[in-house]
């Protein structure tokens, strides 16, 4: 249990962890930029020049080096998303605990006391079940084709009059009818720029390395064409043209896929960063989700012990409660957030 001084100790540990993961990402970002600097120095010294070498091995080694450095850079960019997601989750938990005292003041002490007594690991266990269900209700994740095409994570389309409590910029810049303000009436929001700036820098370096790869790739195309024609000389001009077209098409399709994959990966990273800044994974939205998670956990416990099943079937009940929250997503502040659990007949299907 965490109550009183135990709450302060837990929050301190969470803040320390949040600071540590952000510092860890900063260290990674600095080191990977040093790696990129070393790559450019190496590639400019040993770049294979067309005409001075007939071996394709040097080109393949260059491509392997380019792919390795880009992979490391993109991995660090993705790590930044996960590190800041952890930090926002921890800060959101602190905000959730602080807001419980406001709920206690206005709606009574009984529920809020139970909420603050839920241990961190217990709450975290429930978070791993409830939060993903809410997340995939709000955002389109594209799980099935992620490895072939990393499409961006985008918010699903909802009716404009719905209360989008997870979207900070939407809440700031919408009128009472849920329609966004236009023009100069839009209000600014500043979530912090360190993650964005480092991601932009990393992706810019990746793009520069990819340009080096593309130039080398085109050079190899001409080398392959010359090699193919030297082995099958004496062909009619139409056959030579068809060979050039076939080889060129194969080279272009592979390059197009690699380019598309790279561009979509960059867009996906930025889409996830925006969710961290003003979406469901922002600090203020995490605080709301934490309250939903803990209330769903308490409800699952109550259902289990009242039927003498205690923790048997707890995970299934918790998932079912998460589905009830998902179905009642736009009206959580009218019922669930106050501890008034919706009845099945009250659930709004969206």
Q: How far is CA 164 from CA 115, 214, 223, 268, 329, in A?
A: 25, 43, 56, 22, 9
Burial class (CB within 10 angstroms; exposed 0-12, middle 13-18, buried 19+) of 84: buried
Q: Is 138 within the bounds of a domain?
A: yes
pLDDT at residue 235 in the model? 63
Nearest residue to 205 via CA among 63, 44, 58, 77: 77
Residue 57, pLDDT > 70, answer yes
Nearest residue to 33 (alpha-carbon basis) of 62, 63, 69: 69
- In the numeric block, the tokens 């598309």 are attached to 260
Q: Is residue 224 included in any domain, yes or no?
A: yes
**Token representation of residue 333:** 């502040």
Q: Does residue 334 lie within any of the structural domains?
A: yes
Domain count, the chain: 1
Let me know if residue 189 belongs to a domain.
Answer: no
Calculate mean pLDDT across residues 109-123: 89
In this prediction, residues 76-100 reach a mean pLDDT of 94
Helix (H), strand (E) at residue 302 = helix 283-306
186 domain residue, yes or no: no
Please tell me the predicted confidence (pLDDT) of residue 177.
55
At residue 227, the pLDDT reads 63
pLDDT in tens, 191-239: 888 999 999 999 999 999 999 889 888 888 777 666 666 666 666 767 7
Q: What is the mean pLDDT of residues 303-330?
A: 90
Structural domain of 146: 5-181+194-346
88 within a domain of the structure (yes/no): yes
**Residue 135 belongs to some domain of the structure:** yes
SS3 of residue 174 by DSSP:
strand
Of the two residues 324 and 342, the one the predictor is more confident about is 324
Q: Compute the mean pLDDT over every residue in the chain, rounded to the nearest whole number.
A: 84
Which band of pLDDT confidence, cut at 50, 70 and 90, is reported for residue 1? very low
Looking at the domain assignment, is residue 188 inside a domain? Answer: no
């Amino acid at each position: 249990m965490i109550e009183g001084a135990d709450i302060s100790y837990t929050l301190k540990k969470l803040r320390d962890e949040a600071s540590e993961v952000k510092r860890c990402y900063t260290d990674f970002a600095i080191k990977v930029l040093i790696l990129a600097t070393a790559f450019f120095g190496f590639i400019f010294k040993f770049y294979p020049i067309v005409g001075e070498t007939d071996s394709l091995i040097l080109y393949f080694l260059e491509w392997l080096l380019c792919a390795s450095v880009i992979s490391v850079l993109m991995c660090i960019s993705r790590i930044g998303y996960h590190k800041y997601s952890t930090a926002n989750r921890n800060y959101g938990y602190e905000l959730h605990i602080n807001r419980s005292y406001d709920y206690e003041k206005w709606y009574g002490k009984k529920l809020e006391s139970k909420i603050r007594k839920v241990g961190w690991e217990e709450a975290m266990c429930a978070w791993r079940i409830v939060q993903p269900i809410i997340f995939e209700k709000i955002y389109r994740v594209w799980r099935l084709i992620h490895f072939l095409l990393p499409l961006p994570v985008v918010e699903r389309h909802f009716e404009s009059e719905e209360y989008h409590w997870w979207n900070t910029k939407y809440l700031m810049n919408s009128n009472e009818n849920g329609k966004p303000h236009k023009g100069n009436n839009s209000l600014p929001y500043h979530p912090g720029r360190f993650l964005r700036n480092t991601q932009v820098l990393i992706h810019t370096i990746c793009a520069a390395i990819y340009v080096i790869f593309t130039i080398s790739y085109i050079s190899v195309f001409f080398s392959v064409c010359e090699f193919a024609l030297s082995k099958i000389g004496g062909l009619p001009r139409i056959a030579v043209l068809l060979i050039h077209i076939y080889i060129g098409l194969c080279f272009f399709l592979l390059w197009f896929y690699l380019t598309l994959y790279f561009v979509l990966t960059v867009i996906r990273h930025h889409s996830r960063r925006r969710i961290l800044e003003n979406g469901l994974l922002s600090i203020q939205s995490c605080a709301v989700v934490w309250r939903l998670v803990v209330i769903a956990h308490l409800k699952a416990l109550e259902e289990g012990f009242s039927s003498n099943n205690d923790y048997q079937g707890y995970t299934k009940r918790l998932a079912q409660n998460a589905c009830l929250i998902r179905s009642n997503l736009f009206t959580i502040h009218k019922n669930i957030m106050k501890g008034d659990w919706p009845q099945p007949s009250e659930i709004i299907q969206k």
